[in-house]
Amino acid sequence: MERELALEFVRVTEAAALSAARWMGRGNKDAADEAAVSAMRATFDTVQIDGIVVIGEGEMDEAPMLYIGERVGMGVPPMVDVAVDPLEGTNIVAKGLTGAIAVLAVAPRGTLLHAPDMYMDKIAVGPECKGRVSLDAPVKDNLKEVAKALNKKICELTVVVLDRPRHQELIEEIRMAGARIKLITDGDVSPAVAAAYPGSGVDILMGIGGAPEGVISAAALRCLGGDFQGRLWPTEEAEVERARSMGISDINHLFTLEELVQSEDVIFAATGITDGDLLKGVRYSARRARTHSLVMRGTSGTVRYIVADHQLDRKPLFKDNRIKVFEP
């Protein structure tokens, strides 16, 4: 993929973030999600790619989601797989909390795992820890390896875990090992990526979250040289059958980073919606807005931070009311 596409994908996440951020704290997660989806879909239509959504928010009959199998872009080469989460952290935006982002990943056709919309057990670490952790290893052993790689004591590590009842045993094991825990309410893509950034305050992400978000996180960590493993975690037989229908015959298979994202030619882009460890949220002023984004390319390993000031009256998508941004 041409490097010029990186900025085009940032425009896509910016549009989603600008739309969703107007719903912050209004208690309506569905409206925020719809605004982000509508903006992302409309902006994708202006990008010169022939894209198929392989990681989306639902099926074709679950509009307005960007559904699995949907075609995006202008229908011209390159042919790519697209993984999207227009609003990663719907509850976060609804409650006005921290850490919501608009995010996407793009790679050549056939190189992103078609992950079903179900749970995945995950572990994410930065470049120093690559090859030193495993979902099959005891929690304490993983923490020892991360501490050793980062030249820290276990008590100095920060582990991010989704605050869910299913993680009670995991949380106890982390505490018994002596590490610090940061519990989050929603949105595990941002902390997974932050684990690869020195000084982010995150050393490792562990626990069960969405499988689609796992593939998106893996795309970012592939760009950053970090590591990620995932294993599907079905809650009912229908999910097992769904995975098999998508070509995943072994539901217990341990997916490595290279299996989740099979090409280094991957682009990851994200824009902050609310303030978080990774990015600042959208700031509005009189008919203007400021966004904070990052975009990274796997082939070069380059990470760019982009601060953009938007004059919304000059943006056709907003000016012509094609997306719900000013009238929540």
Which residues are part of a known binding site for substrate? 88-90, 119, 164-166, 186-188, 210
Three-class DSSP category at 215 = helix
Start-end of H helices in 201-315: 211-224, 237-245, 257-260
Binding residues for Mn(2+), as ranges, are: 33, 57, 85, 88, 213
- Measure the CA–CA gap between 31 and 179, rounded to whole angstroms: 38
Binding residues, as ranges, are: 33, 57, 85, 88-90, 119, 164-166, 186-188, 210, 213
- Count of residues making up the chain: 328
Q: Count Cβ neighbours within 10 Å for each residue of 261-276 and write b for 16 or more, e otherwise.
A: bbbebbbbbbbbbbbb
Three-class DSSP category at 102 = strand
Residue 283, beta-bridge partner list? 290
Peptide bond into 64 cis (omega under 30): yes
Nearby residues of 318 by Cβ (< 8 Å), 6 or more positions away: 18, 312, 325, 326
Q: What would the two tokens of residue 262 be?
A: 């099979």
281-287 long-range contacts (CB < 8 A, ≥24 apart) are 281/17, 281/21, 281/24, 281/98, 281/100, 282/17, 282/18, 282/21, 284/21, 284/22, 287/311, 287/312, 287/313
Q: Which amino acid is at 171?
A: I
Report whether 159 contacts 203 (CB < 8 A). Answer: yes
Residue 203 φ/ψ, nearest 5 degrees: -105, -30
